[in-house]
């Protein structure tokens, strides 16, 4: 893996992060065969922008982002914050008190070289420093579900055909201890 810097985003990163979200989410939609769902794509991008703004406005208390840079180019992101409504609903409230790790994105040109693992390790460290020892994580993308199942095992909640026939949603509860 090339030299990567992982750090908190600053205001000057906003525009590049917005572009990064659009690039990675568009690529993810296309790879998962849902690139034609323009409204869902736009909603996903806007949700990540909203999460980023919550980080900036709360200095990381409401949402906490880390970004990965190769040189001066943003090539990865990860964040945590309150469990989403989707997670709360699908777990019948069982995970509502946990933080959710999300926005785990690696630029298509930098995938499969350990960057996702490095981002996870960095967020684990940030969680430990705040006394957080478990979190939840969800995915509706088949390509990501393969990765998360290898890393965390079978999901704690598996909603078959949640997004349509053959399009499941999965949620994991992860302990860092």
- What is the model's pTM? 0.91
Render pLDDT for 67-103 as a digit per residue (tens, 0 to 9): 999 999 999 999 999 999 999 999 999 999 999 999 8
Residue 77 belongs to what domain range? 5-175
Torsion of CA 153, 154, 157, 158, to 10 degrees: 140
Q: Is the pLDDT of residue 123 over 90?
A: yes
Closest CA to 176 of 138, 139, 128, 129: 128
Q: What's the total number of domains in the chain? A: 1
CATH code (residue 96): 3.40.630.30
């Amino acid at each position: 893996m090339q030299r990567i810097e992982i750090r908190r985003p600053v205001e000057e990163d906003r525009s590049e992060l917005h572009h990064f979200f659009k690039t990675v989410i568009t690529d993810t939609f296309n790879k998962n065969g849902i690139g034609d769902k323009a409204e869902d794509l736009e909603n996903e991008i806007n949700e990540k922008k909203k999460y980023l703004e919550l980080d900036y406005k709360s200095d990381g208390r409401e949402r906490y982002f880390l970004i990965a840079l190769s040189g001066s180019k943003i090539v990865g992101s990860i964040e945590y914050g309150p469990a989403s409504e989707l997670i709360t609903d699908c777990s019948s409230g069982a995970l509502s008190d946990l933080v959710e790790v999300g926005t785990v994105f690696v630029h298509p040109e930098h995938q499969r070289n350990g960057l996702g693992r490095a981002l996870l390790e960095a967020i684990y460290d940030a969680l430990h420093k705040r006394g957080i020892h478990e979190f939840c994580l969800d995915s509706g993308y088949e390509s990501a579900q393969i990765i998360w199942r290898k890393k965390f095992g079978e999901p704690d909640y598996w909603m078959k055909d949640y997004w349509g026939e053959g399009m499941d949603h999965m949620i994991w509860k992860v302990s860092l201890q």
